[in-house]
């Protein structure tokens, strides 16, 4: 079997089962562990899967409109098409942007009403963000948390976004650089922190009133675990 064919089958397996280990891959496709790792590295570097300790997990499906769920995005797209405006304009109406022309707002709201689309339901970002801090791969436990979060978001019609984030663990809070997605208007409704983070990251999220859960206790700096949701 050619490498490209094998990788397609590996990807199909990951999509179906959620994850695969190097040992499982080597056994199933009768290849060496070195070849198995190479296949996973290729899939992950292409953005088709997420590297985990000893294997890989399924790439997450995320909402296509700044964090709203895919179903909400399709509804917003229908409103935009019939109102003859951009999808961004519909989102701005949903967020109550007062700078839009009254006629535009009225047109969008009228179309939304006719379609039975509640724009207010999309005003709040329904994305949950899974942040891997200062690590290259997720470990086995983190993989299970990731897949569990994906299942929850699917059932709740939410989007789940995965990002890998590197930061200066000793940077003071005043000069801490957060991922842009956490500081924008479309920031997530909640965050799952895994990997290694600084105590100042926890303080920054608290200041921005972004709910978060910490997986593990790999925190650099002084912090008080009893003040946070830790798993």
Q: Kindly list the structural domains of the chain, giving each domain's residue range(s) and its CATH number in brackets, ordered by start.
A: 3-58 (1.10.10.10), 70-122 (1.10.260.40), 127-230 (3.40.50.2300)
Query: In which residue are the tokens 């895994």 written?
Result: 194
Taking residue 196's Cβ as centre, other Cβ atoms within 10 Å add up to 17
Query: Do residues 63 and 124 make contact, with C-beta atoms less than 8 angstroms apart?
Result: no
Rounded distance between C-alpha atoms, residue 220 and residue 67, angstroms: 30
Average predicted confidence (pLDDT) for the chain: 84
Per-residue pLDDT at 230 exceeds 90 = no
**pLDDT level of residue 174 (50, 70, 90 thresholds):** confident
**pLDDT level of residue 62 (50, 70, 90 thresholds):** very low
User: What residues does 57 pair with on adjacent strands?
Assistant: 19, 50
The overall pTM is greater than 0.75: no
Per-residue pLDDT at 68 exceeds 50 = no
Shortest CA distance to 188 belongs to which of 177, 178, 200?
178
- pLDDT score, position 65: 39
Taking residue 64's Cβ as centre, other Cβ atoms within 10 Å add up to 16
- pLDDT score, position 161: 86
- pLDDT score, position 198: 93
Shortest CA distance to 134 belongs to which of 50, 219, 214, 212?
219
Shortest CA distance to 57 belongs to which of 93, 26, 13?
13
Rounded distance between C-alpha atoms, residue 159 and residue 156, angstroms: 9
Rounded distance between C-alpha atoms, residue 89 and residue 81, angstroms: 11
3-class SS at 137?
Answer: coil
**pLDDT level of residue 98 (50, 70, 90 thresholds):** low
- Rounded mean pLDDT, 207-213: 90
Query: In which residue are the tokens 């917003």 written?
Result: 76
Half-sphere exposure of 222 (CA within 13 A, CB side): 1
- pLDDT score, position 64: 38
Look up residue 152 and give its DSSP letter: H
């Amino acid at each position: 079997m050619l490498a490209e064919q094998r990788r397609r089958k590996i990807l199909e397996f990951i999509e179906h089962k959620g994850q695969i280990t190097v040992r499982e891959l080597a056994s199933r496709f009768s290849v060496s562990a070195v070849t198995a790792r190479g296949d996973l590295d290729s899939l992950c570097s292409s953005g088709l899967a997420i590297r985990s300790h000893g294997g890989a997990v399924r790439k997450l499906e995320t909402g296509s409109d700044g964090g709203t769920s895919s179903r909400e995005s399709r509804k917003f797209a229908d409103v935009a098409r019939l109102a003859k405006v951009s999808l961004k304009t519909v989102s701005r109406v949903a967020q109550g942007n007062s700078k839009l022309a009254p006629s535009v707002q009225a047109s969008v709201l009228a179309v939304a009403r006719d379609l039975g689309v509640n724009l207010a339901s999309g005003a709040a970002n329904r994305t949950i963000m899974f942040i891997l801090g200062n690590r290259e791969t997720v470990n086995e436990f983190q993989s299970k948390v990731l897949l569990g979060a994906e299942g929850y978001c699917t059932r709740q019609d939410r989007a789940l976004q995965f990002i890998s984030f590197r930061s200066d663990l000793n940077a003071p809070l005043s000069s801490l650089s957060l991922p842009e997605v956490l500081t924008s208007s479309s920031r997530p409704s909640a965050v799952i922190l895994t990997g290694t983070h600084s105590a100042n990251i926890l303080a920054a999220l608290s200041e921005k009133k972004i709910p978060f859960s910490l997986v593990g206790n790999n925190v650099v700096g002084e912090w008080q675990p009893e003040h946070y949701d830790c798993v």
